[in-house]
């Protein structure tokens, strides 16, 4: 069974969000990384890029497939996890400890439409 963390917000495309002030820390869920298998590459946006909720901001590639990363919120990318450029497998090791991007949210209310941990567990079935 996939690990789901209380206190995070989850999207139907399996990204998680942790809100720190007006910044959304975004990564992919344990379910997503386990479905992908061994992650070999993470396509990251640039700091300063604008992202929109429900639109892709990059991709994760694995030995099995490639999957778009869909932003759960809108705003400006204020930080990227550059460690993933050299070690994309960090996401497999700890999908909740190894975030992908941080976004300064333009509309913090967008997190309210995301699922909480219990709803995400139910969504996973």
Number of domains in the chain: 1
Residue 121 lies in a domain: no
Residue 1 lies in a domain: no
Residue 33 lies in a domain: yes
Q: What is the pLDDT of residues 29-82, one digit of tens each?
A: 999 999 999 999 999 999 999 999 999 999 999 999 999 999 999 999 999 999
Domain carrying residue 31 = 9-106
Residue 2 lies in a domain: no
Residue 117 lies in a domain: no
Residue 4 lies in a domain: no
Measured CA to CA, the distance from residue 50 to residue 104 in angstroms comes to 10
Q: How many CB atoms within 10 Å of residue 103?
A: 26
Please enumerate, as own/partner, the contacts of 12-16 that have beta carbons within 8 Å and a separation of 24 or more. Answer: 12/115, 12/123, 13/68, 13/70, 13/72, 15/69, 15/70, 15/71, 15/72, 16/95, 16/96
Measured CA to CA, the distance from residue 64 to residue 75 in angstroms comes to 31
Residue 85 lies in a domain: yes
């Amino acid at each position: 069974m996939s690990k789901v963390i209380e206190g995070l917000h989850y999207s139907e495309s399996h990204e998680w969000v942790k809100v720190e002030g007006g910044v959304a820390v975004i990564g992919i869920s344990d379910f997503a990384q386990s479905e992908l298998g061994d992650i070999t590459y993470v396509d990251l946006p640039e700091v300063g890029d604008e992202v929109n909720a429900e639109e892709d901001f990059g991709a994760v590639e694995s030995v099995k497939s490639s999957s778009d990363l869909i932003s759960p919120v809108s705003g400006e990318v204020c930080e990227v996890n550059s460690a993933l450029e050299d070690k994309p497998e960090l996401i497999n090791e700890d999908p909740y400890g190894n975030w992908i991007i941080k976004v300064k949210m333009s509309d913090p209310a967008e997190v309210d439409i995301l699922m909480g941990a219990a709803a995400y567990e139910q969504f996973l079935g």
